[in-house]
Amino acid sequence: MRWLVQHFLSEYLRPWKLASFATGFGLLLAGADYYRAPDWDYAISFIMATLTYLTAPWSVRVLKDRRWRWAPLALFWYYFTVDGCYWLYWRSVKPEALDMREANFYASSCLYWLCGFIWLHRGPLRKLLRRQEDDAAGQDELTVRQMAARVLVTIALFWMAFFIYSTTTGKERVTGLCRQIAPGMDVGQLTAFAEDHGLGPWRHLNSGTKLAYLAEARTAGRHACRIEFEGGKVRNATYSHAD
């Protein structure tokens, strides 16, 4: 039992895993500060990131190795990490934030399994990067091509998680932006606002514009502000959704 505890601790304390965890956690903190989403703060970032670090690799290994006896526990940790702790936290801190629960579930699920695969390797980073097998360690090593493929898949999954989160939270976010576009705002002010908040296209706006749609780039234009002009100034701005 003591050996087992030491083994798991040694894996969690490996420098490359701690460094990657710190990097990801730092990005979560930066995102919480930058996007100011109603369900994204420092505390929930720490809780969910830590639980993911501790449980995701084990959950992935259980399913990968077909240890079906442990599958219910692996699925429990998956659910509790991506949704259970989220529900408990916001239920006690700010219940209205739970409106974002479904969006969080999809994005966090992608990140949970992605991180599980990233931290699945047991051993030093140098062994993960070797092309040849290390007979002494008795582990299969990745070739450069396989490593490159994993990096590309990782990037793709991160982008997918970000897009899913952005899309499912877009209505509330863009509606808030549309409300900030006040009647009487001139084209120059509107252009600066759109550029600062990722809305576009704004380059075609001019004093003769009568109607324009400024869509959010990060959701591929699905969420936008419909803006009516009069005399070169904003007359009305409302939220618009493209199916």
pLDDT at 59: 94
pLDDT at 107: 78
Cα 114 from Cα 120, distance rounded (Å)? 10
pTM for the full predicted model: 0.59
pLDDT at 229: 93
User: In the numeric block, which tokens belong to residue 41?
Assistant: 């703060």
Sign of CA dihedral 30, 60, 99, 242: positive
Cα 167 from Cα 178, distance rounded (Å)? 16
Cα 215 from Cα 194, distance rounded (Å)? 9
pLDDT at 83: 94
pLDDT, one tens digit for every residue, the chain (243 residues): 454 456 567 788 899 999 999 999 998 898 888 767 778 899 999 999 999 999 999 999 999 899 999 999 999 999 999 999 999 999 999 888 887 787 788 778 888 998 998 898 887 777 766 644 444 344 455 566 766 777 777 777 777 777 777 777 788 888 889 999 999 999 999 999 998 888 888 888 888 899 988 988 777 677 889 999 998 899 999 998 865
Cα 52 from Cα 85, distance rounded (Å)? 11
pLDDT at 216: 84
**Whole-number CA gyration radius for the chain:** 23
- Which amino acid type is present at position 59? S
pLDDT per residue as tens digits for the range 106-140: 778 888 998 998 898 887 777 766 644 444 344 45
Would you tell me how many other CB atoms lie within 10 Å of the CB of residue 173? Answer: 18
Beta bridge partners of 230: 233
